[in-house]
């Protein structure tokens, strides 16, 4: 009993001592702090477990895929619809890289479109392209007198021979030959001199100067597979004519149409082929800066063919239509020295 009384007395003394209470508070606070630190390291605050993730799951597997898609769409600002949705089983970082690759592809497409747009703008603003687009055949003018053709020379094939025979232009000069091609137009000796000797058109053009040169060739070249060879040969003729006749106005006439019967039955001499050649001739005339005469359009009927009564063989014009051709030439004369295809309004 005495021992128990002694212990109680000793405890009462300690409790009544303020220093004892201070020490006790310190010890308790220290223990609580240590317990908190231990708890934090064990549970892993900020780790997958702390976020409520299963230890067997990767972050992408646990995250709601709809939220990931929303995030991706916001991050790629408008082109997210072109990026693939990130799979729930796909690594999150890999999915973002895939989206970036898709964005780069879209960016390349946009850059290509921008370059094409810039090129189109350049074409529209390029003076040479603008001139080509504006180039047109010689427009209809007030008719000239036949004296205009006195100082003119006509170069060409058998159709030009028909114009020589039936036009009534007895004071004009014609260097024409049946079956002649443009590649031989200046070099083949078919021009008859008064002494009975034939010389080439090139040699004849050295003897006399003309104010106007009318060329009509191409009928005999319709069988050529390569139209570029035709226009190149034609261009060489024009270059040589400029050397021989530097002051002359040069007119390139379109190939004349054929009749419906001829066009539908002939694989070579048909209007589809003729129109292809004429388009190439027009471009060549623009490049060479000479006048282009769309006689083709002045000779067709409402159906787009040479009238059946115009030619017995569907190709070579009778007298009546040679005069129609001449009338077209009378009403389509360019202003001397003007740019081809311009300043020809009435």
pLDDT-based confidence at 26, cuts 50/70/90? Answer: confident
Query: In this structure, which CATH number among 3.40.50.300, 3.20.20.70, 1.10.287.3510, 3.40.50.1110 belongs to the domain 143-330?
Result: 3.40.50.1110
Task: Label residue 110 exposed, middle or buried (CB < 10 Å: 0-12, 13-18, 19+).
Answer: exposed
pLDDT-based confidence at 336, cuts 50/70/90? Answer: confident
Tokens of 270: 């048909």
Show Cβ contacts of residue 221 under 8 Å, excluding neighbours closer than 6 positions. 181, 182, 230, 277
Residue 18 pLDDT: 57
pLDDT at 144 over 80: yes
Residue 171 pLDDT: 95
Q: Which of 150, 138, 156 has the alpha carbon at shortest distance from 333? A: 138
Q: Which of 164, 163, 149 has the alpha carbon at shortest distance from 212? A: 149
Least confident of 38-42, 60-64, 247-251, 281-285: 60-64
Select the more confidently predicted residue: 334 or 318.
318
Residue 62 pLDDT: 40
Residues 86-123 have pLDDT tens digits of 343 444 333 333 333 333 333 344 344 444 445 555 55
pLDDT-based confidence at 72, cuts 50/70/90? Answer: very low
Sheet containing 173-176: order of strands: 173-176, 152-156, 212-216, 249-253, 291-293
Residue 32 pLDDT: 72
C-alpha 331/C-alpha 274 separation (Å) is 23
Residue 31 pLDDT: 66
Residues 291-301 have pLDDT tens digits of 999 999 999 99
Residue 322 pLDDT: 98
The helix or strand, by DSSP H or E, that contains position 173, with its residue range, turns out to be strand 173-176
Question: Taking residues 147-174, what's their average pLDDT?
Answer: 97
pLDDT at 237 over 80: yes
Select the more confidently predicted residue: 276 or 18.
276
- What are the start-end ranges of the H helices in the chain? 2-16, 18-43, 59-62, 65-75, 92-125, 127-134, 158-166, 201-205, 227-244, 260-265, 271-288, 295-299, 319-330
- Proportion of the chain above pLDDT 70, given as a percent: 60
Residues 162-203 have pLDDT tens digits of 999 999 999 999 999 999 999 999 999 999 999 999 999 999
Residue 162 pLDDT: 97
pLDDT at 35 over 90: no
Q: What is the DSSP pairing of strand 189-192 with strand 198-200? A: antiparallel
The domain spans of the chain are 59-125, 143-330
Q: pTM of the full predicted structure?
A: 0.62
Residue 142 pLDDT: 94
């Amino acid at each position: 009993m005495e021992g128990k009384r002694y212990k109680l007395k000793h405890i009462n003394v300690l409790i009544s001592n303020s220093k004892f209470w201070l020490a006790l508070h310190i010890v308790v606070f220290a223990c609580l702090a240590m317990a908190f630190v231990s708890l934090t390291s064990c549970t892993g605050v900020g780790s997958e477990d702390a976020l409520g993730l299963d230890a067997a799951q990767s972050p992408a597997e646990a995250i709601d895929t709809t939220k990931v898609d929303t995030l991706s769409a916001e991050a790629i600002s408008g082109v997210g619809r072109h990026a693939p949705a990130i799979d729930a089983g796909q690594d999150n970082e890999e999915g973002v890289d895939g989206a970036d690759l898709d964005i780069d592809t879209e960016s390349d497409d946009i850059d290509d479109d921008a370059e094409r747009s810039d090129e189109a703008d350049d074409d529209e603003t390029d003076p040479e392209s603008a001139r080509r687009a504006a180039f047109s055949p010689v427009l209809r003018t007030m008719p000239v007198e036949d004296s205009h053709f006195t100082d003119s020379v006509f170069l060409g094939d058998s159709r030009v021979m028909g114009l020589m025979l039936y036009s009534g232009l007895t004071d004009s000069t014609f260097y024409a030959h049946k079956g002649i091609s443009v590649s031989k137009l200046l070099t083949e000796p078919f021009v008859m001199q008064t002494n009975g000797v034939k010389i080439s058109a090139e040699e004849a053009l050295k003897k006399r100067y003309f104010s106007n040169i009318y060329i009509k060739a191409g009928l005999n070249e319709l069988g050529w597979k390569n139209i570029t060879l035709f226009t190149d040969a034609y261009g060489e003729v024009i270059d040589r004519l400029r050397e021989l006749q530097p002051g002359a106005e040069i007119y390139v006439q379109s190939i004349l149409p054929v009749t419906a019967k001829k066009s539908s039955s002939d694989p070579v001499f048909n209007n589809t082929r003729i129109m292809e050649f004429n388009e190439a001739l027009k471009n060549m005339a623009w490049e060479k800066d000479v006048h282009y005469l769309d006689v083709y359009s002045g000779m067709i009927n409402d159906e787009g063919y040479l009238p059946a009564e115009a030619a017995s063989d569907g190709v070579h014009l009778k007298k009546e239509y040679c005069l129609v051709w001449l009338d077209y030439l009378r009403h389509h004369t360019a202003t001397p020295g003007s740019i081809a295809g311009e300043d020809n309004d009435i």
